[in-house]
Amino acid sequence: MNFELTEEQALLQQTVRRFAEEEVAPGAIERDESKIWPEDIVRQLGEMGLMGMMVPDKWGGAGMDTVAYTIAMEEICRADASVGVIMSVNNSLVCSLLHTFGTDDQKDKYLTPLARGEQLGAFSLSEPQAGSDASNLLCRAERDGDGYRVSGTKNWVSNGQHSDVVLLFALTDPEKKHKGISCFIVEKGWSGFSVGKPEDKLGIRASDTTELYLDEVKVPVENRIGGEGDGFRIALATLDGGRIGIAAQALGIAQAALDHALAYAQEREQFGHQIVDFQAIQFKLADMATEVEAARLLVRRAAFVKDRGDSASSAAAMAKVFASEAAMKAATQCVQIHGGYGYMRETGVERLMRDAKITQIYEGTSEIQRVVIARELQRKG
Ligand code: CAA
């Protein structure tokens, strides 16, 4: 067993780390404060091949694997988790879904510009009454001649406002429950499609999250991905990969919390000593470092399982539940170590605490991840 990065992976890490430190980190506090969407950074991510990392170059991607993707995600999120979620949705929910389940025509038309970063994608499954109970959809796609008419309300759509294309799940046959859900590629400019106002969120405030409203939107049949009724299976299989991306996002936040906490503990003096000399602080740092390392191993393992072509459901759920909880704990301890300064916005570490929280919620809550893990245990046992 080899825990070292390959030369190629180490070079990717170095390149993305430098970009994150020089271009992403500097404006992170201001973007969070004023909810500024990082347009210029997203454009640069596209130019660097980071928006379609796992897509073969034939379809405009960088042709890398999931392990490489987690390395890049960690580095970007160490600087700004808002930028990370924009990148994660486009890579592991949108491009991966199109690459795995799309036809060649769909890949030519939609995947190529998305993977090149020339366009941005969103993934829209949730509805006001369908969060964890994701198959409880009301959004309806009724067959109409050579296409469908889609009507309904979707919510909590990351990239909802800035995306060009949305992969959207709707009921083609309400009688069949989850087996009546289908997946569609919907262009934002189509008649009857409108976007709600951006949500005012606790964290990842520089990314946008919106409702989407569909009023009899005409979607051609060639924009259906997979067969009628395949949608829920496509959504859950895609979320297995998405959860690896969010686990890597959480890992980046946890690492950032450790970096800031250590630096501050070495600089801050109280009672005539650097506070890092006190065992109370040392134990906190030791626990943070241990959990960050364990999270990294779980994230890399989930990515490795996926790259090997095996089902990554359980490995992804374990990585996400552990890394997101490690991120929340590390960010909280980071604020604690900073004391009163940590509570002030200008120090920037309270942002880590607010950003960490969403990693325990989106793409399946920690409770849902435990359901996935327990079901797999029961299936195997
Ligand atoms: N891959 C492929 N198929 C799968 C699967 C997987 N990982 N997991 C289950 N399925 C299949 C099952 O085999 C079953 O198929 P059959 O009926 O043909 O046998 C079907 O899907 C239904 O499975 P379940 O009976 O297990 O479904 P369930 O209703 O009990 O739900 C769940 C399971 C795990 C709770 C699921 O609903 C879930 O993951 N919920 C959380 C939803 C979620 O993660 N939402 C995130 C939204 S995206 C987001 O956050 C967006 C963003 O912008 C960042």
Express as a percent the part of the chain with pLDDT over 70: 100
Pocket test for ligand 1, best of 181, 233, 306 (most atoms within 8 A of CB): 233
CA distance 272 to 251: 34
Pocket test for ligand 1, best of 236, 310, 377 (most atoms within 8 A of CB): 236
| Residue-wise pLDDT tens digits, 124-169 | 999 999 999 999 999 999 999 999 999 999 999 999 999 999 999 9
Residue 354 pLDDT greater than 90, yes or no: yes
Instruction: List the structure tokens of 226.
Output: 């997979």
Half-sphere exposure of 118 (CA within 13 A, CB side): 9
Question: How much is the pLDDT for 92?
Answer: 97
* Rg, C-alpha atoms of the chain: 21
Output the CA 183–ligand 1 centroid distance in Å. Answer: 14
Mean pLDDT of the chain: 98
| pTM recorded for the entire structure | 0.98
Nearest to 44 by CA among 61, 23, 73: 23
- CA of 240, closest atom in ligand 1: 7
Instruction: List the structure tokens of 87.
Output: 């990148």
Question: How much is the pLDDT for 352?
Answer: 98
Question: How much is the pLDDT for 283?
Answer: 98
Residue 42 pLDDT greater than 90, yes or no: yes
CA distance 279 to 269: 14
Question: How much is the pLDDT for 13?
Answer: 98
Tell me the residue type at 338: H
CA distance 254 to 325: 9
Question: How much is the pLDDT for 1?
Answer: 83
Fold observed for domain 122-228:
Butyryl-CoA Dehydrogenase, subunit A; domain 2 (2.40.110)
> What residue segments make up the domains of the chain, in order of their start?
7-120, 122-228, 232-380
- CA of 135, closest atom in ligand 1: 29
Q: What is the mean pLDDT of residues 195-206?
A: 97
Output the CA 354–ligand 1 centroid distance in Å. Answer: 27
| Residue-wise pLDDT tens digits, 240-293 | 999 999 999 999 999 999 999 999 999 999 999 999 999 999 999 999 999 999
CA distance 369 to 380: 17
Fold observed for domain 7-120:
Butyryl-Coa Dehydrogenase, subunit A; domain 1 (1.10.540)
- Residue reference for tokens 């990554």: 312
Active site residue 363: yes
Output the CA 365–ligand 1 centroid distance in Å. Answer: 12
Q: What is the mean pLDDT of residues 324-332?
A: 98
Question: How much is the pLDDT for 111?
Answer: 98
Q: Whose CA is nearest to atom 48 of ligand 1?
A: 363
Fold observed for domain 232-380:
Butyryl-CoA Dehydrogenase, subunit A; domain 3 (1.20.140)
Question: At 166, is the secondary structure helix, strand, or coil?
Answer: strand
Question: How much is the pLDDT for 306?
Answer: 98
- CA of 237, closest atom in ligand 1: 1
- CA of 158, closest atom in ligand 1: 53
- Residue reference for tokens 């450790």: 258
- Residue 121 burial (10 A CB sphere; 0-12, 13-18, 19+): buried
Question: How much is the pLDDT for 381?
Answer: 86
Output the CA 263–ligand 1 centroid distance in Å. Answer: 41
Question: How much is the pLDDT for 2?
Answer: 86
Instruction: List the structure tokens of 366.
Output: 């920690």
Give Cα 331 distance to the centre of its chain.
Answer: 18
| Residue-wise pLDDT tens digits, 203-239 | 999 999 999 999 999 999 999 999 999 999 999 999 9
Q: Whose CA is nearest to atom 12 of ligand 1?
A: 233
Within 6 A (CB) of ligand 1 lie 89, 123, 125-126, 132, 134-135, 157-158, 178, 232-233, 236-237, 239-240, 313, 362-364, 368, 371-372
